Structure 1
Amino acid sequence: MKRNLSKGLKVVFLAVYLIVMAFPLYWIVITSLKPQKDIFSFPLKYWPDRLTFQNYINIIKISKFHIYIANSLLISLSAAVIVVCISVLSAYVLARFKFRAHRHVMLGFFLTQMLPGFVALAPLYLLMTRLDLINTRASLVLMYTVGLIPFSTILLKGFFERIPSSLEEAAMIDGCSRMSALVRVIMPVMLNGIAATFIFAFVQNWNELFVAVLFIDDESLKTLPVAMNSFVMKFDVDWGAMSAGTVLSVLPTIALFAVAQRFIVDGLTQGAVKG
């Protein structure tokens, strides 16, 4: 009886937890399908009298939604690829070589994760202004890359430490250079970790708002989060358009997680074993 009661309570708790967590997503989706009059109706309608795709039609036809999507994809993918390429090399050095400043470098990486990012925004804005990179996609790619390299390096370092160094030593004995051994032997073994790091970097870049708002003013260069922010007006909020835009904006990340779910779970759990 006690065992059945315990299982029953767990099922009830998980069911309530699932409903609480899923309700905001349901509300966003159903709001995006409501006519304008039903969005502000009182009492609240948890299911509208009729469903409409007018909010989606408006946001696609009236706004430059396809441009915002293209900008977000270009910037997020570019920054994620650069982050992975640099982090793989830096994590390999930190995992395989012990040098005098090794502990200081790791401490510096950890400190960057403790400090809020907005602390450095003022000097970075001045730097970008002097480099004439304000209002360019390159500024966002550079900012996102710099911001994600420390964490990505820490994450990948755990994967390298799980792989015995004898593996690349054997490849080097067979004639490979160290770089060739890294690319041909080590990286295929830790593909899960590389994929998890790439996905983490992409999602962070895709959802980033604060830096993009500060560095981008041109309408044709805005990313999706910046465009979504424009629906919040001075005296009103276009909830229908914002909800429709939110649903469309999460579709790429949902597709990415659905395709690469195995890599994410295996990668993050394996990388956390040793760091």
Structure 2
Amino acid sequence: MKTKGKTAVVTGGASGIGAALAEAIVADGGRVVVADINSEAAEAHAAKLGDAARAIPCNVADVAGVEAMATEAWDWLGGVDLVFANAGISVARPLLKASEAEFDVILDVNLKGVWATAKAFATRMMDAGREGHLCLTASEHALGLQHPGNGFYTASKHGVLALGDVFRAELPDGIGVSVLCPGLTATHMPDTSPAATGMSADERRSAMARAVMAEGKPPSEVARHTLDEIARGTFLIVPEASAWLAAEKRADEVKDEFARQAPMGPDAMKYHVGTVVERLMKKTGPGLL
């Protein structure tokens, strides 16, 4: 889908990759809703972008709130072409030291929030008979283990990739789907993990985390790469070459273990779900399903 001159909604749009996406959309002649839980930051960024932008406060973990934001955004924009389900948080803590509160808040924002955002706008696109494109922000962590110590975040980003795969299979052809898997990007994510996790401010904003993130790719480069790939209809958007190292390790392990444990052979499709459904329908007709 062409991305120039389009209407767009960006969650987590007040900072980092989200803010850069909003800037790029306006620079390309489009109009954008900056949706963010930090209302002051959203207002400031929208003001910076001028009349082509509007801020709408939104906690993506609140499904009803997402629906309300979607209604307001749709009305102001007169319909939405591009949706960036980008809001996300991170809490770096080993799994055995992590808490239930951390699990809940990270999965609520990073996974439920992405689903709720995509669902709200895809439903409106379909009801209006409008074409559009959804871009779900995952991470290089969705492609393989980049490093230990951030298990809930990694799990949530694997989930985002899975959501994207299913959405592109279930949605009509007129609604495209991409999953953005950025690598290390110079954002303030360590500063945005909520106090609801029970972590202290010092833990959430460790000097090392800030220093590492500051060395990442500029968000503006990630945003431009993302828009270019959406225009090409790309599903898996991978701006950072080094993310391939973990992805390749995962792919090789999957391939090798299937070759050893369950190689393809004459009966390989016997328990394939599609094969089983086809066999049952031949026996009983579609009434069984």
Greater radius of gyration (CA): 1
Comparing both structures, which one devotes a greater share of its residues to strand? 2
Same fold flag (TM > 0.5): no
Q: TM-score, normalised by structure 1?
A: 0.25
The higher relative CO (CA closer than 8 Å, separation ≥ 6) is in 1
Q: TM-score, normalised by structure 2?
A: 0.24
